[in-house]
Chains A and B, each alone.
Chain A
Amino acid sequence: MSVVVGPGGLRPRLRRRELGLLVLVALALLVGWFSLELGRRLADGSAGPATTGPAAAGPERILVYLAALFVAHGSLSLSGRPSDEILLPTVGLLGGLGLLVMERLPQTMAGSLGGLAASQLVWLLVALTAMTGLGVLVRSDAWLRLYKYTWASVGIGLLLLTFAVGIETNGARLTLQVGPFAGQPSEFLKIILVVFLAGYLAEYRPLLVAGVWRLGPLRLPPIPYLAPMVVLWALALAIVVVQRDLGTALLYFLTFLGLLYVATARLGYVVGGALLFVAGAAVAARLFPHVAARIAVWLDPFADAQGAGYQVVQALYAFGRGGLLGTGLGAGLPSPEGRLPIPALHTDFPLAVIGEELGLVGVVAVLACYLVLIERGLRIAATAADDFRALLAAGLALVVAVQAAVIAGGNLKVIPLTGITLPFVSYGGSSLLANGVIAGLLLAISDRSIRLPTARRPGRGGR
């Protein structure tokens, strides 16, 4: 199995569109940094030097980040693969906006190495390396499609390990620590989930589409082929119950339903799955107080504005203060004594910061970036050579889109708030790395020239 082809036959290929877009990204981020700097100076000038906590930093970090983007562009050009040219600039802009947000926040955060922005920069570089590495090196998808059950086992193993020895933060058991490295397996689990589902659905699509027996208006495939679906549903609920992680459960389940619809084009599955989830959630809300508390906060955050509803209320105020054009970078919420005005602002509420300082206009631009990512994913899926790659591309785009939608909806009080990250923007190593891997896989499969694995011999009874 050759996953990688050596650099013997490299033929550099100009990526003109990517370069053009990257130049725009670089310009935007530099002006953004300048705007942040001016905002800081004005704040210092008007209210005395004591108010803003962090010492003004130079543009070094933004410059390093931009250099990394252009290095990534250079590597992709040198590899000569005809892969997608929109993904890198879009991801680059989102990551850059995230970096600006981290620059703007007080740097003294527990658990961050040498300041929030410095730590974020390191992880952004790691994520870009992963993305470019996968985009340049992966020349075959056999290692993904042939071992779907192995991947599924790895994923479930990781999950169980987290259930057993995970560390609790804010009442949710999410973090796994091995020596000095701590990570959130759920971020990587979402990739494994998409890989498994793409493999499974590509293999049994005809059966699922045809349907064999009827249950009321639903035509269902043979029972054994439904088992993995039911297992997934149970898994999502188990995450809610054991890990108390509503956001991840919602993310997995919505991705699963979306992919099922992409594979079968049958709305019945989606409606059925959604009803199952609503039923499960209703029962969970009765049985588990942490679920009920989330829903109560969502319905009326002002009932306990200083307690449970504090985060949501503060986020709503931030969006309100921002208005149409925002207060300007660096001129937003005051940060008393170098603390974050909202706990978990850097991981769960970066959209609230963008909403306050760049206004509705900025939030819409960020959401448009995710829209672009979805379009690219679906476009790659529509032109993929076979079902597995089509489903993989659609699923990877879907998982990013759903995650962005779930956390953006939570920030805006459209749906109950759940603590997941805003892809490519939020602070956090696991999240950045996992999303970088997703972007890298999309880059790799957008190259139509990669071979389909040589087929299994017929006559052995299927695969």
Chain B
Amino acid sequence: MDPALAAAWLVRLTFLALLYLFLAAVARILLRDLRAAARAAPELGRLVVVEAPAGQPPAGSQFPLGAVTTLGRDVNNAIVLEDPFVSSRHAVLSFRGRTWYVEDLGSTNGTYVNGIRVEAVVPVGWGDELQVGGVRLRLERAEPRAER
């Protein structure tokens, strides 16, 4: 076989092999990334305090959420909000299927989602804002575990 032709073949195959080497490297990283995400404990979401007039809990504090999370002034709630306008059993957040819902438990001052008063059970999206008494909270997706 002509050596020039053989060399050209070799280079061509090396080129294709390098393309697939790149893809294999990417696939390896992606797989590792997905495995790490699957291993991480499933945290359903969290509430971030945007504003709390009474200062308790302080703005910026975060609460990891369980599938059912109760909010109110009473110490038996999952999230205790010290605010004069919060009822003792104020509202409940629940995760059903793939969406969060909020329900007002007959509180005196009401619960608001993005400024609209909650009358029945209402879905809450990521980034939506809840107002419970004077406290404003935002529903955020949980931080994914660090890739590594």
Q: A206 contacts B125, CB within 8 Å?
A: yes
Among candidates A24, A383, A387, residue contacting B125 with C-beta atoms closer than 8 Å: A387
**A25 close to B (CB within 8 Å):** yes
Alpha-carbon distance between A463 and B115 when the two chains are bound, in angstroms: 8
Name, among B14, B15, B29, B141, the residue most crowded by chain A CB atoms within 10 Å (CB to CB): B15
Chain A contacts for B23, CB-based, 8 A? 365, 368-369, 372
Tell me the minimal C-beta distance from B72 to chain A in angstroms: 19
Interface flags for B1-22 (1: CB within 8 Å of A; 0: not) read: 0001101110111111011111
Which residues 393-415 of A sit at the B interface, judged by CB distance below 8 A? Answer: none
Among candidates A93, A329, A368, residue contacting B12 with C-beta atoms closer than 8 Å: A329
Alpha-carbon distance between A446 and B7 when the two chains are bound, in angstroms: 43
**B126 close to A (CB within 8 Å):** yes
Alpha-carbon distance between A35 and B17 when the two chains are bound, in angstroms: 13
Q: B129 contacts A458, CB within 8 Å?
A: yes
Q: B30 contacts A86, CB within 8 Å?
A: yes
Alpha-carbon distance between A384 and B23 when the two chains are bound, in angstroms: 25
Q: B141 contacts A35, CB within 8 Å?
A: no
Interface flags for B104-148 (1: CB within 8 Å of A; 0: not) read: 000000001011100000110111010100001010110110000
**A34 close to B (CB within 8 Å):** yes
What size tier do the contact residues of chain B reach? 35 or more
> Given the known A-B contacts A24-B21, A86-B26, A455-B136, are A42 and B141 also in contact in the complex, defined by CB atoms under 8 Å?
no
The closest CB in chain B to the CB of A18 belongs to B29
Tell me the minimal C-beta distance from B38 to chain A in angstroms: 12
> Given the known A-B contacts A206-B123, A379-B33, are A90 and B26 also in contact in the complex, defined by CB atoms under 8 Å?
yes
Say what secondary structure dominates the interface of chain A. helix
Which residues 326-342 of A sit at the B interface, judged by CB distance below 8 A? Answer: 326, 328-329
**A300 close to B (CB within 8 Å):** no
Q: A386 contacts B141, CB within 8 Å?
A: yes
Tell me the minimal C-beta distance from B120 to chain A in angstroms: 11
Tell me the minimal C-beta distance from B27 to chain A in angstroms: 8
Among candidates B37, B129, B144, residue contacting A448 with C-beta atoms closer than 8 Å: B144
Q: B26 contacts A458, CB within 8 Å?
A: no
**A21 close to B (CB within 8 Å):** yes
**A375 close to B (CB within 8 Å):** yes
Tell me the minimal C-beta distance from A385 to chain B in angstroms: 5
**B25 close to A (CB within 8 Å):** yes
Alpha-carbon distance between A329 and B125 when the two chains are bound, in angstroms: 51
**A89 close to B (CB within 8 Å):** yes
Alpha-carbon distance between A328 and B37 when the two chains are bound, in angstroms: 41
Among candidates B19, B25, B125, B126, residue contacting A362 with C-beta atoms closer than 8 Å: B19
Alpha-carbon distance between A458 and B115 when the two chains are bound, in angstroms: 4
**A191 close to B (CB within 8 Å):** no
Chain B contacts for A90, CB-based, 8 A? 26
The closest CB in chain A to the CB of B13 belongs to A325
Chain A contacts for B44, CB-based, 8 A? none
The closest CB in chain A to the CB of B127 belongs to A386
> Given the known A-B contacts A86-B30, A455-B129, are A385 and B140 also in contact in the complex, defined by CB atoms under 8 Å?
yes
**A122 close to B (CB within 8 Å):** no
Q: B127 contacts A387, CB within 8 Å?
A: yes
Q: B8 contacts A328, CB within 8 Å?
A: yes
Tell me the minimal C-beta distance from B81 to chain A in angstroms: 15
Tell me the minimal C-beta distance from A244 to chain B in angstroms: 37
**B96 close to A (CB within 8 Å):** no
**A457 close to B (CB within 8 Å):** yes
Chain B contacts for A463, CB-based, 8 A? 114-115
Q: A372 contacts B12, CB within 8 Å?
A: no
**B50 close to A (CB within 8 Å):** yes
**B98 close to A (CB within 8 Å):** yes
Q: A386 contacts B126, CB within 8 Å?
A: yes
Tell me the minimal C-beta distance from B90 to chain A in angstroms: 15
Q: A458 contacts B7, CB within 8 Å?
A: no
Q: A209 contacts B19, CB within 8 Å?
A: no
Alpha-carbon distance between A351 and B69 when the two chains are bound, in angstroms: 54
Alpha-carbon distance between A220 and B140 when the two chains are bound, in angstroms: 28
The closest CB in chain A to the CB of B131 belongs to A458
**A266 close to B (CB within 8 Å):** no
Q: B18 contacts A24, CB within 8 Å?
A: yes
Which residues 33-49 of B sit at the A interface, judged by CB distance below 8 A? Answer: 33-34, 37
Pull 24 A–B residue pairs with CB atoms less than 8 Å apart, ordered by A.
Answer: A25-B22, A28-B22, A38-B11, A41-B4, A42-B5, A90-B26, A209-B99, A265-B98, A361-B20, A362-B16, A365-B16, A368-B23, A372-B30, A383-B37, A385-B127, A385-B140, A385-B141, A388-B127, A448-B143, A459-B131, A461-B115, A462-B114, A462-B116, A463-B115
